[in-house]
Chain A
Amino acid sequence: MAEPKVKYDRQLRIWGDQGQAALEKASICLLNCGPTGSETLKNLVLGGIGSITIVDGTKIEEGDLGNNFMVDESSIGQSKAKCVCAFLQELNDAVKAKFIEEYPEALIETRPSFFSQFTLVVATQLVEEWIVKLDKICRNANVILVVARSYGLTGLVRISLKEHTVIESKPDHFLDDLRLNNPWPELRRFAETIDLNAPDPVAHKHTPYVVILVKMAEEWAKSHGGSLPSSREEKKAFKDLLKAKMIAMDEDNYKEAIEASFKVFAPRGISSDLKQIVNDSCAEVDSNSSDFWILVAALKEFIVNEGGGEAPMEGSIPDMTSSTEHYVNLQNIYQAKAEADFKIIEERARNILKKIGRDPNSISKTTVKSFCKNARKLRVCRYRSLEDEFNSPIVPELQKYLTDEDFSVAVGFYLLLRAVDRFAANYNSFPGQFDGGIDEDISRLKTTAVGLLSDLGCNGLTLSEDLINEMCRFGAAELHVVAAFTGGIASQEVIKLITRQFVPMSGTFVFNGIDHKSQLLSL
């Protein structure tokens, strides 16, 4: 067996040991192991997911050999679940792989309690009726549901759970918080020890821009009644002051200061996204609250009190032109502030826990620390139940999508994917599933789609004939490449949900394999 650290090196660089540990603890249930399901699991098994349980009642037929890499000629007539399970096990012996030869519909109907043992259920190629039932079961059992479907050149992926909270959202570009518009006493004192007018050119070009901006902002405030530059003219004047301080053309630190001067102009206080989270009704905590919301409650207290309207400091600073000594000192000052902020929030959190009757030490120091470090990047994702979305989609959104050129194909496919399920319920097969009678299927699908739109309260809106025709042409085909795409997306979302890192998608992802103008629909 290979050293897991080496084998997983390329992904540990993304989600770290903690993310990997979460994956290795997770147990996943897959419903239906056609190519969409098989490909989803393949990506998870390679990454070292804890355990998988495959539920599929079908036997392998010739047609399956053309779209599923995980079945082969020698297994025709055998259980598909068994065969796919054996292949996946071969990919990674650290994963516990099981299969159950049964139709998912039968399990949903007769043994709803079956699903509560899993961290997450991936349901593939199920029709609407069963998805809705399964969603109810999973929501009641607090099991995450990921739905994936591949259908001709279209498909969809949808996440369903009540709430998913993220501490480590790891955004790509996120403005650092250097508090240049509101420096605390230690930072100000450090800046005072450095003279911007020092004649030594080497010292001058190695003064970090943080110090330059803190000092210059203070100087500005002194001569402007305590306020910082706010109008366009003032901002320009401030930048000109910075430029005037340069004593040579190659002073990168001053160039960085001019570029970063907007951090001085930025309004104080927390972002509107964070405001929304601390003002969420869940931040009024009780004994049923999750650790996340208890920490939000502590954060809220901190912002109002010690924070003076600001979130806790993160403790790291970006690289900038500087002497080593100044940079290391500066880093220590930011770190000390972050440590102090963390101590306060930790104490507040422990007090809240005591108040609601929980063990004050039930949230680990590491968790509180990570929470503080990421406080400005917290994310809360909530998902409508599938029944709600199906029965009462947000009609204005639907209408907007239908008339928006960028969205019309994606929303058309979304509606047609629902229409083909209705069609199948009425006629016992999908439109165009079998050769012959396509013309009749086209007109039937058209009628079904009109009925669906009218049930949703979208009378008068129509779907393009071309799309309806294409949908019948697709005939419920599960093409391997489309399955690999939707399965890839599904596995990506599963990883984010389980590691609780990064931000999972919102709404329904509709794949458009015609020109790749896929869309996320919020309905």
Chain B
Amino acid sequence: MAGSVVQSSRSRDLDKLLLRPGNLIGANFEPGSQLRDDLQQYVKVLVIGAGGLGCELLKDLALSGFRNLEVIDMDRIEVTNLNRQFLFRLEDVGKPKAEVAAKRVMERVSGVNILPHFCRIEDKEIEFYNDFHIIALGLDSIEARSYINSVACSFLEYDSDDNPLEETIKPMVDGGTEGFKGHARVILPGVTPCFECTIWLFPPQVKFPLCTLAETPRTAAHCIEYAHLIKWDEVHSGKSFDPDDSEHMKWVYSEALKRAELFGIPGVTYSLTQGVVKNIIPAIASTNAIISAACALETLKIVSGCSKTLSNYLTYNGAEGLHTKVTEFVKDKDCLVCGPGVLIELDSSITLQKFIDLLEDHPKLLLSKASVTHRGKNLYMQAPPVLEEMTRSNLGVPLFDLMGKVLKDVVHVTGVASKNDKKTSCLRKLRVAFKGVDGVTDMDTASGA
């Protein structure tokens, strides 16, 4: 308003929160200019995804006092992004999202440094993720969330009483939206439920039974899926369907239309065909803005302690009126991902190769193509070929020897897990305990997992 005294600092508003003591605050809050400077200088935040949520997150974090940001996204900009991904313009179509998003935010918010990574999240070494104080997730896939969750949880260490060691907790904030609905959550591995503890919140998509598609189609979607999943393979022997090829999509559309006419089923349109085949989730700017803002605010609070934090899951629904709800979910104490790790008891003579084979049949793991690391050291790596060759000779060596002859320790294993006939990349933490070592009986392993 006119007449008020001009305060010239750029952090005019943020300073009120960071410099002043408060009454409703986090446990670690130490207000003062030091806190503000530390946020700027030392705190590193990783944003995963530079899409609808990611664009907002980068802007929100850059305007919340963070100056060291990195962003990772494997996608390129498409025209359909432009109704919400506000950092992109028409002339950016085709360019990597992470690079354009980082550039745009740096142009407008001076002092902010954003390092883009145009690649898949699995392409980064696990240690890459350990470099950040907190990870903000702006993803639209369950698989990607699950992967990052397993990575963040892999850094978690437990003390001998199975209590998480605070300095090994890698906090995550996670957002997701669909139309007018969304969620924001805080994950402190070992303290609050991890993504896998509450995986039931994301039920797998229901697929149409093939016999319905083939024999008793009733809806437009049935006709489309028939063309997409059955007819395509019949006609194009060996050529796989590419949803991003508009010729392929048009073919599916016209076949679906033919089938719908044959059975007298209304409603097949090109737009619906795209929607069904690509499983398009409707998305708008406002919901993304709301959810990202909640995530960025939680990031600021977790790092600075300037207020209490969300505990631990916020749902938002703006379709029918406006509903927000906070739910305090509880940890699954037997969680394979954030728990102390699956206990595997081995004979000290077991070779690394034998160990890798065991993982494939382990009922809790079903992990194939495993790469194994111990305390940051690669014991065996499936890829890249150079590393594979370097570590191949370890396969014949007993694991006990490779692990420095300790009786019990943690190893990290990455590989492909199969769950419900689906294969996903994953990272698991295992507690390996050796038996049959001369002269030693280990009481600790008797207690089990």
Contacts and interface: CB of A to CB of B under 8 A. Distances in A.
Q: Do A and B originate from a single complex? A: yes
Interface of A: 1-3, 6-14, 35, 39, 42-43, 46-48, 57, 61-63, 65-69, 72-73, 90-91, 103, 152-153, 169-172, 206, 319-320, 322-324, 327-328, 428-429, 432-434, 438, 465-467, 469-470, 473-475, 477-482, 484-485, 487-489, 491-493, 495-496, 502-506, 509, 513-518, 520
A201 B64 CA distance: 66
Given A470-B23, A492-B290, A324 B217 contact: yes
Contacts of B3: 428
Contacts of B314: 516
A19 to B, nearest CB: 11
A492 B89 contact: no
B14 interface: yes
B362 interface: no
B35 to A, nearest CB: 14
A69 B9 contact: no
B440 interface: no
Contacts of B317: 172
B293 A103 contact: no
Contact of B293 (A10, A485, A518): A485
Nearest to A103: B2
Given A68-B63, A491-B286, 8 more contacts: A65-B10, A323-B216, A324-B264, A485-B289, A492-B286, A492-B318, A503-B319, A516-B324
A327 B218 contact: yes
B13 to A, nearest CB: 4
Nearest to A39: B289
Contacts of B358: none
Given A322-B216, A503-B320, A477 B17 contact: yes
Contacts of B56: 484
A448 B96 CA distance: 54
**Smallest CB-CB A-B distances: 5 pairs:** A63-B12, A505-B322, A488-B289, A488-B290, A480-B63
Interface in B273-312: 274-275, 280-287, 289-290, 292-294, 296-297, 300, 307-311
Contacts of B290: 484-485, 488-489, 492
Contact of B297 (A2, A3, A62, A485): A485
Contacts of B300: 481
A47 B82 CA distance: 9
A169 B64 CA distance: 37
A509 B317 CA distance: 13
A3 B80 CA distance: 10
A469 B13 contact: no
Contacts of A488: 286-287, 289-290, 293
A423 B290 CA distance: 30
B384 interface: no
B216 A491 contact: no
Given A2-B90, A324-B217, A505-B321, A14 B286 contact: no
State the majority secondary structure of interface residues on B.
Answer: loop
A172 B17 contact: no
16 contacts: A6-B79, A7-B83, A10-B280, A13-B271, A42-B86, A46-B285, A62-B9, A66-B63, A90-B89, A152-B16, A153-B307, A170-B319, A470-B23, A487-B289, A505-B321, A509-B322
Nearest to A503: B320
A387 to B, nearest CB: 22
B27 interface: no
Contact of A516 (B12, B16, B24, B294): B294
A515 B310 contact: yes
Contacts of A470: 22-24
Contacts of A515: 308-311, 326
B141 interface: no
A516 B310 contact: yes
B59 A69 contact: yes
B258 to A, nearest CB: 15
B349 to A, nearest CB: 51
B108 interface: yes
Residue in B83, B310, B318 with the greatest tally of chain A CB atoms within 10 Å? B83
B22 A473 contact: yes
A170 B321 CA distance: 11
B216 to A, nearest CB: 5
B6 interface: yes
A35 to B, nearest CB: 8
A514 B324 contact: no
A469 B180 contact: no
Interface of B: 1-14, 16-17, 20-24, 56, 59-60, 63-64, 79-80, 82-84, 86, 89-90, 107-110, 179-180, 184, 216-219, 263-265, 271, 274-275, 280-287, 289-290, 292-294, 296-297, 300, 307-311, 314, 317-322, 324, 326
B263 A66 contact: no
A480 B62 CA distance: 10
Given A66-B14, A324-B218, A485-B297, A466 B23 contact: yes
Contact of B319 (A8, A172, A479, A480): A172
A506 B318 CA distance: 11
Given A491-B286, A513-B307, A515-B308, A73 B110 contact: yes
Contacts of B110: 65, 72-73
A469 B22 contact: yes
A502 B180 contact: yes
Contact of B84 (A10, A67, A466): A10
B7 A434 contact: yes
B216 A8 contact: no
Given A2-B79, A171-B320, A469-B23, A43 B286 contact: yes
Contacts of A473: 16-17, 20-23
A43 B216 contact: no
Contacts of B294: 485, 516
Contacts of B108: 69, 72
A169 B79 contact: no
Contact of B16 (A90, A320, A475): A475
A46 B286 CA distance: 9
A6 B14 CA distance: 39
A170 B89 CA distance: 32
Contacts of A469: 22-23
A61 B4 CA distance: 12
Contact of A63 (B7, B292, B307): B7
A73 B106 CA distance: 12
Residue in A13, A171, A496, A506 with the greatest tally of chain B CB atoms within 10 Å? A13
Contact of A477 (B16, B318, B321): B16
A47 B284 contact: yes
B218 A319 contact: yes
Given A63-B8, A319-B219, A477-B14, A2 B82 contact: yes
B401 to A, nearest CB: 51
Contact of B64 (A2, A3, A319, A481): A481
A246 B134 CA distance: 56
A152 B80 CA distance: 35
A86 B2 CA distance: 23
A474 B16 contact: yes
Given A47-B83, A73-B110, A322-B218, A502 B11 contact: no
Given A328-B263, A466-B24, A480 B64 contact: yes
Nearest to B20: A473
A210 B9 CA distance: 69
A432 B310 CA distance: 26
A66 B12 contact: yes
A7 B16 contact: no
A475 B18 CA distance: 12
B16 A513 contact: no
A429 B1 CA distance: 9
Contacts of B307: 153, 513-514
Contacts of A73: 110
B280 A13 contact: yes
A431 B289 CA distance: 29
Contact of B80 (A6, A90, A171, A514): A6
A484 B7 CA distance: 22
